[in-house]
Structure 1
């Protein structure tokens, strides 16, 4: 592997993994077992700074999901070059939580794997060090597929790479592999000097609506902060899961589930309280809450900050019939734009739903693909 050989500069040796495939190995780890992988903290700083790649959060996610994730760590000589988060999906499990790591079930039971971040679908579940070139990434992903087939057993039907950017989709596509473009993720590039500049860039009818919405917060208690420990995570998780359930229900009624809520074959689980509590306490995670004077939670927004940009993974609000405020989400977007400008980050990403609304607010889109790889061609 010539391109990988070029990376073999002198360095501190980490605890080596088993060596295979010309000195390259992919280790499949269940986060519920053992400690953080060797070299994981250093790799995260370089290639996966988003909080959902924290091994402790992956552990919580695995314990509290019906289709628990495993982590595939790609190494060369003990150094981590890349990683994937993979859900092992059981078609008959339904809403029941998965068995513990010591009782994974028969290796002959039919199931499939999804390379996917189910609660952050606008972010790819495959990451690499920047210096690993395209040919090396392709070879690492083929080795990953072979290791995954060995790990999951003969019952594995195949693997689906979901919501991948075009460069990753190109690497995993090929003969016998079905590739299709799916709903894009939304991106706002940082080209503004102030929130007023952003509002002024919008079309006149949208601009008027946004300005009107931003003047209607007097009766609400709005609190914003990073790493917040004052929140009732159960309260927020309930609001978030109800919000998502309404989005799905509207999509079914409109006959456009594939366009609006078709982010999954319903393989994801509800957001657990314990996971959300830990996520919101991370120092790079900013939470904005909207409450009535009585203390009732009306809405909340979550942003997280990385050197590559800000992301808005969560917004949830009460519907109008339960006392929700119309157009409150526009204040959330204005707040996100303010944070984008103040942080000097290059972009803000805001997920894969409500594409028309976000286009009106100045967002562009980034193409995403899914690639299905049946068992007979995995690793080829």
Structure 2
């Protein structure tokens, strides 16, 4: 790929969404109003295989999020090289950025941008084709920042790259760009021949706990399938958001909110029913539900199954005082490990919380970093 250095100093067109002379450009689209970018389905198969990169899901997320995301698509000669999901965040609670016409006056309201997957924070919101090296990625990200500054307008305070893997953070970092290590994501490498092989690798006390937890009540109805259309998404979304609210409340009480989430300001929205309904119907999303004899949902978890690995983005359960089953989450992890081994995927990722518990189950950690880029250094 040609270097992007020749773009500097060529005038306003280099970030205006019109390809420069050498064909390198960054297109920023608002999923609420723009059609799916050309070449996006092909790029998704190569580099953005997780379900949340599906343009239909991005459109739903953008309409229903408090801080709606846009999609930045990096191209050379029309070929997609990389992409970012970018939330546009307002310091005024309740203010939402509406769809912008193609020609708009630069915005004056203060805001900032976050390159972030708020409902899948252990994974990068920046993806590239594999063949791009670090220097090429750096140049594309600098061009993205210049394009974003023009798209948002004068009110843009800067951009924060949240929860980035080390290679992406290295491409973003530079003078005037502070980098902070945040809580890592958890990873289990697939080095096992069977679930028994995995169990044998655990400490004896943990192994005993796991086996005891697998003795589920006979009255519990457990159903697992991919692409499920039999679910009431409102029921699952209610349990999920309630579960997350309890986690947040515990974190605030313990004074660890910023450490656990890696954020001083939580820009996430509750997971909407419409988003969850579309997500659970995806063929590479496996959902496992647990119901009591009355049919009430006691717990559920989801897995994303892709060639790059299995991920567990969502787990939610009723508290014990309201009919929840103790240590039911252990069954969820065992099921995920079984799926990992049976499918032959290289790894299982399971989010950024409960690190000690997951370490006992054999998980290691992968470093994540956040990089803040104030407006004066954007694009430099």
Normalising by the smaller structure, the TM-score range is over 0.9
Q: Indicate conservation of the 8 Å contact 1:260/1:354, yes or no.
A: no
Q: Indicate conservation of the 8 Å contact 2:25/2:76, yes or no.
A: yes
CA spacing shift, 1:119–1:335, aligned 2, 3 Å: same
Q: Structure 2 matches for 1:1-380, cutoff 5 A?
A: 2=2, 18-20=18-20, 22-92=22-92, 94=93, 96=94, 98-102=96-100, 107-263=107-263, 265-380=265-380
Q: Indicate conservation of the 8 Å contact 2:4/2:139, yes or no.
A: no
Q: Indicate conservation of the 8 Å contact 2:258/2:264, yes or no.
A: no
Q: Counterparts of 2:287 and 2:133 in 1: how far apart (Å)?
A: 36
What is the CA distance between 1:202 and its match in structure 2?
A: 0.8
Q: Counterparts of 2:55 and 2:180 in 1: how far apart (Å)?
A: 31
CA spacing shift, 1:37–1:2, aligned 2, 3 Å: closer
3-state DSSP of counterpart to 2:356? helix
Q: Counterparts of 1:340 and 1:365 in 2: how far apart (Å)?
A: 17
Which moves more between the two structures, 260-269 or 65-74?
260-269
What is the CA distance between 1:102 and its match in structure 2?
A: 4.2
3-state DSSP of counterpart to 2:342? helix
CA spacing shift, 1:232–1:377, aligned 2, 3 Å: same
In the alignment, which residue of structure 2 is the partner of 1:14? none
3-state DSSP of counterpart to 1:151? helix
The C-alpha deviation readout for 1:277-330, integer Å capped at 9, x for no partner, is: 000000000000000011000000100111110000000000111111110000
CA spacing shift, 1:166–1:21, aligned 2, 3 Å: farther
CA spacing shift, 1:328–1:18, aligned 2, 3 Å: same
Give unmatched runs, 5+ long, in structure 2.
6-16
CA spacing shift, 1:376–1:322, aligned 2, 3 Å: same
Q: Counterparts of 2:263 and 2:349 in 1: how far apart (Å)?
A: 16
Normalising by structure 2, we get a TM-score of: 0.94
RMSD over aligned Cα atoms = 1.7
The C-alpha deviation readout for 1:130-176, integer Å capped at 9, x for no partner, is: 11111111000000000000001000000000000000000000000
CA spacing shift, 1:224–1:4, aligned 2, 3 Å: farther
3-state DSSP of counterpart to 1:101? coil
Q: Counterparts of 2:45 and 2:333 in 1: how far apart (Å)?
A: 28
Q: Counterparts of 2:21 and 2:350 in 1: how far apart (Å)?
A: 39
Q: Counterparts of 1:344 and 1:4 in 2: how far apart (Å)?
A: 39
Q: Indicate conservation of the 8 Å contact 1:64/1:97, yes or no.
A: no
Q: Counterparts of 2:47 and 2:352 in 1: how far apart (Å)?
A: 23
What is the CA distance between 1:216 and its match in structure 2?
A: 2.3
Normalising by structure 1, we get a TM-score of: 0.94
Which moves more between the two structures, 215-224 or 316-325?
215-224
Give unmatched runs, 5+ long, in structure 1.
6-16
Q: Indicate conservation of the 8 Å contact 2:88/2:113, yes or no.
A: yes
Q: Indicate conservation of the 8 Å contact 2:227/2:284, yes or no.
A: yes
In the alignment, which residue of structure 2 is the partner of 1:9? none
3-state DSSP of counterpart to 1:286? strand
CA spacing shift, 1:130–1:175, aligned 2, 3 Å: same
The C-alpha deviation readout for 1:105-148, integer Å capped at 9, x for no partner, is: 97011110000000000010000011111111100000000000
Q: Counterparts of 2:23 and 2:100 in 1: how far apart (Å)?
A: 30
What is the CA distance between 1:100 and its match in structure 2?
A: 2.9
Q: Indicate conservation of the 8 Å contact 2:227/2:282, yes or no.
A: yes
